[in-house]
Amino acid sequence: MRIAKVPVNDTNLKKAAIRLLGQRLVSNESLYIRSKLAPSVTQQEMDDNVLAVRKLPWATIAIVD
């Protein structure tokens, strides 16, 4: 049995966040997830990362100029 993969893009991350968290991700969270995942992943992998990013300390995901 083949497991379908979805592209890791802003639209799919936004949909997953709204479904799981009830709100959108901020840009730093989206960028962090996109940097950690392959270009396409299973829905479960994406869901796990969307939930996990909210538990990380902000200093871990913040973009420093």
Average pLDDT (1-7) is: 91
pLDDT tens-digit readout, 7-40: 999 999 999 999 999 999 999 999 999 999 999 9
Give the span between the Cα atoms of 9 and 14, in whole angstroms: 9
Which residues span the domain enclosing 30?
5-61
| Opening angle at CA 34, ends 21 and 24, nearest 5 | 25
Report the pLDDT value the prediction gives residue 2, as an integer from 0 to 100.
Answer: 85
Strand partners, 7: 40
Report the number of distinct structural domains present in the chain: 1
pLDDT tens-digit readout, 45-58: 999 999 999 999 99
pTM: 0.89
